[in-house]
Amino acid sequence: MSDFYPMGRDPVQRPPQWPYDGGSFQAEHVGYEFDSERDQPMRPSTAPPEVVMAELAGPPPRSRARFVVPLVLLILTIISTFVAAGGLGNPWDGLKYSVCVMAILLSHEMGHFLQALRYRAPATLPFFLPMPFSPVGTFGAVIAMDTRRLDRRALFDIGATGPLAGLVPTIVFTVVGLQQSQVVSAARIPGVMELGEPLLFTWLTRLIHGPLPEGYTVMLGPMAFAGWVGLLITALNLIPIGQLDGGHILYALLGRKANTVGMFLLLGAIVAVVIAGYWGWLIMIFLLGLLGPEHPPTANDRAPLGALRIILGWLMLAFIIVGFTPEPFKLFPQS
């Protein structure tokens, strides 16, 4: 059992990052920066020392709301994804799509949650976001956590692990789902929706089905559609703005320069939406603007990342190129 309680009711009342081992306090460590990987002081800090007083205490009382709200949202998201895939008319397809999408979202959020436990960052359970009356049935999922006391290495690990964990079932469901999907005539039927294809999805389709004859396309089954949704959600989360996963990664790579990059990216997204007429992205742009394009500083922005994390970070941000599609849905008019 851990002495740290990441789901405490009050995020301010929590044990310090240096766990007390019962020994004497080392006065010479005051004013040193903390190294999250080695759990020990790293080097003298140039910032004014911060004294944190703590006392030994048991776990804070647990509120039922912290479990009831995520559970209710989980059930509602399962229902909304089931209905979105036509589950009321074809329960098997609805169930298959719902299970696959929820597995992708759960893998993504548990990647964040387990890393938060590792670095002792206070975190909530995943909040799944149902989106009824939509083609996908969900707006994704979020976890609230306090990362202000982490260094940039811990921030990178927490931000990167979620998309990586969610990408594993996404690729599996995409490949298996495409194998189960059928090649059909590409005649445009009024009122039928066509999906925009990210580059990665197009490559996998050609790998499995080969070059399609002119006038033909692949009719996606529920599992392949879930994989397509997983690619879109992963790409959106990796947008390097604010406190999205991509924002965490970019801040870990560039420090406070990432805030300038995020501001220009948000302005560029607004211009692109207006010029290209992709009005469906206005809600997301509004939310990004509401949350702000800036990322709060970590407790230690100078903690070393190492070459592997730096390479992995840029590769993950580059995933947007192959995983994102600017026009996910195209609905052909009735006449």
- pLDDT, residue 10, reads 42
For residue 289, is it within any domain? Answer: yes
Average pLDDT for 226-251: 94
pTM of the predicted model as reported, rounded to 2 decimal places: 0.79
Query: What is the tally of structural domains in the chain?
Result: 1
Q: What is the DSSP string of 65-87?
A: HHHHHHHHHHHHHHHHHHHHTTT
For residue 25, is it within any domain? Answer: no
For residue 58, is it within any domain? Answer: no
Per residue in 279-317, pLDDT (tens digit) is 888 888 888 888 888 888 888 988 999 999 999 999 999
Pairwise CA distance, residues 124 & 69, whole Å: 11
Per residue in 267-282, pLDDT (tens digit) is 999 999 899 888 888 8
Q: Compute the mean pLDDT over every residue in the chain, rounded to the nearest whole number.
A: 82
Per residue in 137-170, pLDDT (tens digit) is 998 998 888 777 889 999 999 999 999 999 999 9
Spatial CA neighbour of 6 closest among 133, 158, 134: 158
3-state secondary structure 166-179: HHHHHHHHHHHHHH
Provide the pLDDT confidence category of residue 35 given band limits of 50, 70 and 90: low
Taking residue 92's Cβ as centre, other Cβ atoms within 10 Å add up to 10
C-alpha 322 chain-centroid distance? 17
Rounded to 10 degrees, the C-alpha dihedral 313/329/173/312 comes to 0
- pLDDT, residue 20, reads 40
Least confident piece of the model among 138-142, 170-174, 187-191: 187-191
Provide the pLDDT confidence category of residue 38 given band limits of 50, 70 and 90: low
DSSP structure class, residue 241: S
**Which domain range does residue 214 map to?**
65-331
For residue 82, is it within any domain? Answer: yes
Percent of the chain at pLDDT above 70? 78
Handedness of CA 306, 300, 115, 248 (dihedral sign): negative
For residue 54, is it within any domain? Answer: no
For residue 49, is it within any domain? Answer: no
pLDDT at 190 over 80: no
For residue 166, is it within any domain? Answer: yes
Q: What residues pair up with 32 in beta bridges, in sequence order?
A: 44
Per residue in 82-134, pLDDT (tens digit) is 999 988 999 999 999 999 999 999 999 999 999 999 998 888 889 999 998 88
Provide the pLDDT confidence category of residue 55 given band limits of 50, 70 and 90: very low
For residue 248, is it within any domain? Answer: yes
Whole-number Cα distances in Å, 216 to 75, 210, 211, 213, 219: 38, 12, 10, 6, 9
Percent of the chain at pLDDT above 90? 51
Per residue in 5-25, pLDDT (tens digit) is 344 444 444 444 444 444 444
Select the highest-mean-pLDDT range: 19-28, 163-172, 208-217.
163-172
